[in-house]
Amino acid sequence: METNETLKRSLDKIRLTSLIVGVVGLLASALVWSVDPETFYRSYLLGYMFWLGISLGSLSILMLQHMVGGGWGLVIRRILEAATRTLPVMVILFLPLLMGLDTLYEWAQPETVAQDEILLHKAPFLNTPFFVFRAALYFAAWILLMVVLNKRSAEQDQNPDPSLPRRLQLWSGPGLVLYAVALTFASVDWVMSLEPHWFSTIYGLLYLAGFALTTLAFCIFVLQRLSGYEPLASVLKEKHFHDLGNLTLAFVMLWAYLGFSQYLIVWSGNVPEEVPWYVHRLHGGWQYLGLFLIVVHFAFPFVLLLSRTVKKKGQTLARLAGLLLLLRFTDLFFLIIPAFGHGGGFNIQWTDIVTPIGIGGFWITIFVAKLKDRPLLPVNDPRTIEAFQTKEVLEHG
């Protein structure tokens, strides 16, 4: 069993390494920006959406935990809270995307809009000032929820007020609705509008489910690596990993259901405005990546997560979670990158790997710093005794 001092040294080492990786990765990507802005911005958008997915997915799972309770949520609450507190950094990292609007989006190019009847029709919504205004609203809503939830949790660490869990619950109900609405519009603005002629009523739901799945995989991966440190070492049981595995299975199935539903609706409708999105992703080599996602992102984890043995073994589940993180990135690659191919074949640039790693270096640096701010378990939460059957954790955290 490792000591807290050992944990702090390990986290400090991770912070330093992540910061170096972040600086090197983004500097290397910035060199591309000067000669090929489109390649840089597409890779930056890909990386940004992946890491934003963990920040926002953590916000949704955190509110879900406050709504339903349970030991599974208590053991990952500090991970979730630390991830949500990276949101102000994600606001800053969003600024390069604003600089590249006219490179990323057809609707931000006046000469293109003037020659396109559909873009002219959508111009009252898809225009730069309104786009920036909506982005500010989305971040304001998410950061408001983050601040309230983290502030109330910090108050609970200092004050054993039995009313605080109820107040967190009252914020989380409406908060989940606000979060879902903001993320739905954000996914349409930031990703779906890359192909502005196309639309889908399910598109936002894909990101709601996908971000939650990314977050659960990230939490399982981190939790396993923190499991040897107190107070987690004293309370973490197989049942907690089992519950997290069940929740992960649920979101794997939800992600697959939504993806299939969107495909079925587009295929059965056969509307000219909707079909090209899938045409770009079912030809030129992209179809093999789509098949890979069906088999490895859905079928493989689905079968494994049906096993109680897999879900109860923290190390095994963590390995699967690590794979799911790579698959979530692959899914975002499949959703975003074909929009820049203009109907061409499968293509991947080195910046599609290096730029997300660079963004991730900065994200992990901030995440680790926030994780160190508070104990690894909530303090003074009245549900701790029920969840862990121990009063010591309730009193000392």
> Per-residue confidence at 387, pLDDT binned at 50, 70, 90?
low
- Helix (H) or strand (E) run with residue 60 in it: helix 37-68
Q: CB count, 10 Å around CB of 62?
A: 28
Closest CA to 181 of 122, 125, 141, 129: 141
> Is 156 or 246 the better-scoring residue by pLDDT?
246
- Give residue 385's pLDDT: 64
pTM (two decimals) = 0.94
Tell me the three-class secondary structure of 69-108, residue by residue: CCHHHHHHHHHHHHHHCCHHHHHHHHHHHHHCHHHHCHHH
Q: What per-residue confidence (pLDDT) applies to 336?
A: 95
Going by the DSSP 8-state scheme, the letter that residue 389 receives in this structure is S
Q: Hey, what are 238's tokens? A: 């197989």
Domain span holding position 176:
4-396
Distance CA 351, CA 357 (A): 9
For 4-30, what is each residue's pLDDT tens digit? Answer: 788 888 899 999 999 999 999 999 998
**pLDDT over threshold 60, residue 2:** no
Query: Which residues in 232-248 are b (16+ Cβ under 10 Å) and which e?
Result: beebbeeebbbbbbebb
| CB proximity list for 348: less than 8 A, separation 6 or greater | 333, 337
Nearest to 255 by CA among 282, 220, 304, 293: 293
pLDDT tens digits, 319-349: 999 999 999 999 999 999 999 975 568 889 9
**2: β partners:** 229
**51, 356 contact by CB (below 8 A):** yes
Helix (H, G, I), strand (E, B) or coil at 8: helix
The residue type found at 191 is V
pLDDT at position 235: 86
Tokens linked to 180: 């879902």
Domains held by the chain: number:
1
Q: Give residue 280's pLDDT.
A: 86
For the ranges 89-98, 180-189, 237-246, 276-285, the lowest mean pLDDT is seen at 276-285
Is the peptide bond preceding residue 276 cis, with omega within 30 degrees of 0? Answer: no
